[in-house]
Amino acid sequence: MPPEPSAAELPITGYLDRFSRRPGERVAAHVSVPGGESFRARLVRVISGDPNPAGPGLRFEDLSARFDANFPGRHQPIHLGSHALVPRPPGRGQGACCWTALVWLAAPPPAEAAVMSEEQGPCIVTLAIGPGGAMARIAAPGLEARLAIAEPLRLGCWYRLWLSADPATGALLLGQQALEAYPAHIAETSVAGLVLPDGGGGLLIGARGLAAPQAHITAKIEAPALLAGFRTGWPQPDTGLAAADPAILAAWDFSLGMSSQDITDLGPQACHGTLVNLPTRAMVGARWSGTEMCWRHAPADYAAIHFHADDLGDCGWAADFHFEVPADLPSGAYALRLTCAAGEDMLPFYVLPPRGVARAPVAFLASTFTYQAYANHSRGNADAEYKARAAAWGASAYNPDDYPGYGRSTYNRHPDNSGIAFSSRLRPILTMRPGFLTFNDARGSGLRHYPADTHILAWLEAKGIAFDVLTDEDLHEEGQALLAPYRVVMTGSHPEYHTLHTLDALQGYTRDGGRLMYMGGNGFYWRVACVAELPGVIELRRAEGGIRAWAAEPGEYYHALDGQYGGLWRRNRRPPQMLAGVGFSGQGAFESTYYRRTEASHDPRHAWIFAGVEGEILGDYGLSGGGAAGFELDRADPALGTPDQTVILACSEDPPSSFVTVPEEILSRFTTISGEEQDALKRGEIVYFETPGGGAVFSVGSITYCGSLWQDGFAGPISRLTENVLRRFSA
């Protein structure tokens, strides 16, 4: 019988193996239908993802003539929670044995959470932590022995836990000892007929149950080991195990292979293992000295792995069908529309042009790293009013608030309040759907990210401007050569997350004569890491500075995947102003104001930008917060890299009362880094500059700008201004 579906599962959903493909390549679709009924998959082109009836509406081109097929449905469950799997524990006889590990908690577990579990057939040994303290259980045919210590672990302290068992005497002993030399707590019992695994099964670290892992822990674990013999206590101070200790059967050193998903056993039998569901490595460990802040310089200080009960890497669903991109399918935004008797879903993807070919002079660069960073962001705002609007507009009916099983975003936290540092695209992403409403926007549509960026695509369509689509992931992999064939590259409304490769490619493109239109705000802000060995995964460390949903702990600012310093690109000496001329300066609620033209904008040299644009006020309307300058605003700053030749064409005015200056600009309650008043920094600026190599950059300095492309259709000053720039850049 198939497993029962969770109540919090969509009637049909899925994910694709990649966000983008080229003509001739295949897209693999992984689908789950909890009810098990058959489903239909059709191809559509996504023209507009804004369901607001006062805007462009949801618009799709039906391409079922290109792909339309029925498939048998099946339920494919998601298994949350990270752990390590050791498929071959150390072989040994039936002598006495000890299981031990160092453990650190930031929150008490709500129920039994496994530290280590060894299983061989019906025989299971589990060392765990419960709300009341350390726990242990040994189960075998006709036998179940339990031990518990009635002393909760102090939060934020490292503990040595150990379980000793001797089949010859039936003795069992559970120990719990704080490394800070608090008294050791012991629980003992004796069990007749005690039977232990002898290494012929498997072992989990951070969970129990080989067939279906459960009881996942949310804690840091360091130096788990299996030792021969019966241990009644641990010496103080606890200096750990020496690699040459003859009692070691297996000892996993998490400081080795830090960038990988492998764990290394230093024991004589080399019982290595694999991590499942992306627990966080390069964590400050029990013996962190504080002498080095980078794990690469002192890996032994970072020998802990932070496991979480809600981690999710790859759902691991089987592929249900494949779609081969036709050779003549134009580059653009597409989706596979899935329908079954109980509901429907869309799986978006982008089609790139053939490799090395530009089918248009304009390229739209989809901010897929940012979409992924925000994937399934649970904001807690899916109330009755929000849902009523979504229903009335025919918007996406599914909000991550109601579906935690698909994993959260890097803007959410784990159960112990630690920040979520990884995001995978190999899972259903409810926020990356046409028609998804982020906010119940009183003055507009409330769109962000993927659906908000369709404002640009729908505008290009309406203006008859040919364009290709590229993605961040493709740019990371292929570099500047991906951009080189295009006269102009347009970003989305919020290209926030970037790797060194993507920044270098964009900087090289403008340096060598390319034209960049930065169409948003708070762009090029956070550094992320991704590696070829983990396709579909990005890592983020929210290091010092910046507006942050959570803060990385001191000493944990370097990515595990690439060993590089995380956090703001500004802290990595690559402020956004160096590339785009503007950088993040102010933020508020999802509401907006307008721009006023500057005196410099009236210089005859810039008349082409404002041809047909009347008045001094720009964008006092729009589908995103009611105006073109809002939510997150960017400004120029020569001290942060704005080129000397930059012209400020317009500046926002009257920021709403919810707006604040970003913290990286503030030195004290009286002073800012630039020397300006804090209130003056809550502004967005539209800028233009040319590069010495013949390139040019136009930046709008606001996340909500693209919502103002729409006015009485795609008319109005913002549309005209943008079209003037794009047509000149692409000529």
For residue range 622-632, list pLDDT tens digits in order. 999 999 999 99
Q: How far apart are CA 402 and CA 382, in angstroms?
A: 8
Q: Which two tokens stand for residue 174?
A: 């559970």
Q: Which two tokens stand for residue 169?
A: 């005497």
Residue 627: burial class (beta carbons within 10 Å; 0-12, 13-18, 19+): buried
pTM: 0.97
538: left (phi over 0), alpha (psi -120 to 50) or beta: beta
Contact assessment for residue 22 and residue 354, using Cβ atoms and an 8 Å cutoff? yes
Q: Which two tokens stand for residue 68?
A: 């339309």
Q: Which two tokens stand for residue 640?
A: 């942060």
Query: How confident is the prediction for the chain on average, in pLDDT?
Result: 96
Q: Which residues contact 118 (CB under 8 A, 6 or more apart)?
A: 89, 99, 124, 125, 197, 201, 202, 203, 204, 226
Q: How far apart are CA 467 and CA 469, in angstroms?
A: 7
- Lowest-confidence region among 382-391, 422-431, 598-607, 668-677: 668-677
> How many alpha carbons fall within 13 Å on the CB side of residue 581?
28
Q: How far apart are CA 374 and CA 431, in angstroms?
A: 8
Give the residue from 471, 450, 451, 469 showing the smallest Cα distance to 460: 469
Decide if pLDDT at 483 tops 50: yes
> If you average pLDDT over residues 487-514, what whole number do you get?
98
Q: How far apart are CA 380 and CA 391, in angstroms?
A: 18
- The rounded percent of the chain whose pLDDT value lies above 90 is 97
Q: Which two tokens stand for residue 650?
A: 């317009």
pLDDT at 287: 94
Percent helix, strand, coil in the chain, to 5, is 15, 35, 55
CATH for 83-307, among 2.60.120.200, 3.40.50.11890, 1.10.1060.10, 2.70.98.20? 2.60.120.200
Q: How far apart are CA 490 and CA 54, in angstroms?
A: 25
148 forms beta bridges with: 135
Q: How far apart are CA 461 and CA 467, in angstroms?
A: 9
> If you average pLDDT over residues 206-215, what whole number do you get?
97
Q: How far apart are CA 219 and CA 107, in angstroms?
A: 8
Phi, psi angles (nearest 5°) of residue 393? -90, -5
Q: Which residues contact 202 (CB under 8 A, 6 or more apart)?
A: 85, 86, 87, 88, 89, 118, 119, 120, 210
pLDDT at 155: 97
Phi, psi angles (nearest 5°) of residue 556? -120, 40
Measured in whole angstroms, how far is the alpha carbon of residue 185 from the centre of its chain? 40
Count the Cβ atoms, other than its own, within 10 Å of residue 268. 12
pLDDT at 117: 98
Contact assessment for residue 232 and residue 150, using Cβ atoms and an 8 Å cutoff? no
pLDDT at 485: 97
Q: How far is CA 615 from CA 362, 602, 688, in A?
A: 29, 11, 19
Please report the beta strands in 241-340, taking only residues with DSSP state E, as ranges in sequence order: 248-253, 262-265, 273-276, 280-283, 304-307, 321-324, 332-340
Contact assessment for residue 296 and residue 282, using Cβ atoms and an 8 Å cutoff? no
Q: How far apart are CA 551 and CA 533, in angstroms?
A: 27
Helix (H) or strand (E) holding 388: helix 384-393
Secondary structure class of 280 (helix, strand, coil): strand
Q: Which two tokens stand for residue 96?
A: 């006495």
Decide if pLDDT at 2 tops 70: no
Kindly report the CA angle at 710 between 706 and 714, in degrees rounded to 5? Answer: 115
The owner of tokens 């403008």 is 510
Q: How far apart are CA 390 and CA 441, in angstroms?
A: 11
DSSP state of 4: P
Decide if pLDDT at 6 tops 70: no
Residues in the chain: 731
Measured in whole angstroms, how far is the alpha carbon of residue 415 from the centre of its chain? 17
Domain boundaries, the chain: 83-307, 352-730
> If you average pLDDT over residues 29-47, what whole number do you get?
98
Q: Which two tokens stand for residue 129?
A: 């932590």
- Whether the CA torsion 473, 479, 485, 488 is positive or negative: it is positive
What's the maximum distance between 2 C-alpha atoms anywhere in the chain?
A: 96
DSSP string, 439-450: S--TTS----HH
pLDDT at 5: 43
The owner of tokens 């690439």 is 562
Q: How far apart are CA 487 and CA 711, in angstroms?
A: 27
Upstream peptide bond of 110 is cis (omega within 30 degrees of 0):
no
Decide if pLDDT at 266 tops 50: yes
> If you average pLDDT over residues 165-191, what whole number do you get?
95
Q: How far is CA 440 from CA 281, 383, 444, 640, in A?
A: 37, 9, 8, 35
Q: Which two tokens stand for residue 22?
A: 């080229």
The angle, 0 to 180 degrees and rounded to 10, between the axes of the packed helices 717-730 and 449-463 is 70
Decide if pLDDT at 509 tops 60: yes
Give the residue from 504, 470, 521, 516 showing the smallest Cα distance to 662: 521
Q: How far apart are CA 449 and CA 291, in angstroms?
A: 41
Kindly report the CA angle at 172 between 171 and 175, in degrees rounded to 5? Answer: 140
The model's confidence at residue 388, banded by pLDDT at 50, 70 and 90, is: very high
Q: How far apart are CA 123 and CA 106, in angstroms?
A: 31
- Helical residues (DSSP H) of 197-330, grouped into ranges: none
Q: How far apart are CA 116 and CA 530, in angstroms?
A: 29
DSSP state of 184: P
Identity of residue 254: F
Using only C-alpha atoms, the chain has a radius of gyration, in whole angstroms, of 28
The model's confidence at residue 18, banded by pLDDT at 50, 70 and 90, is: very high
Instruction: Calculate the CA dihedral of residues 370, 375, 378, 379 and round it to 10 degrees.
Output: 20
Residue 388: burial class (beta carbons within 10 Å; 0-12, 13-18, 19+): exposed
Decide if pLDDT at 1 tops 80: no
pLDDT for 516-568, tens place per residue?
Answer: 999 999 999 999 999 999 999 999 999 988 999 999 999 999 999 999 999 99
pLDDT at 7: 53
pLDDT at 590: 98
Q: How far apart are CA 589 and CA 321, in angstroms?
A: 42
Decide if pLDDT at 4 tops 60: no
Decide if pLDDT at 704 tops 60: yes
Q: Which two tokens stand for residue 477?
A: 């992999």
Beta strands 515-518 and 696-699, pairing class: parallel
Please report the beta strands in 638-712, taking only residues with DSSP state E, as ranges in sequence order: 647-653, 660-661, 685-690, 696-699
Decide if pLDDT at 682 tops 50: yes
Q: How far apart are CA 234 and CA 159, in angstroms?
A: 11
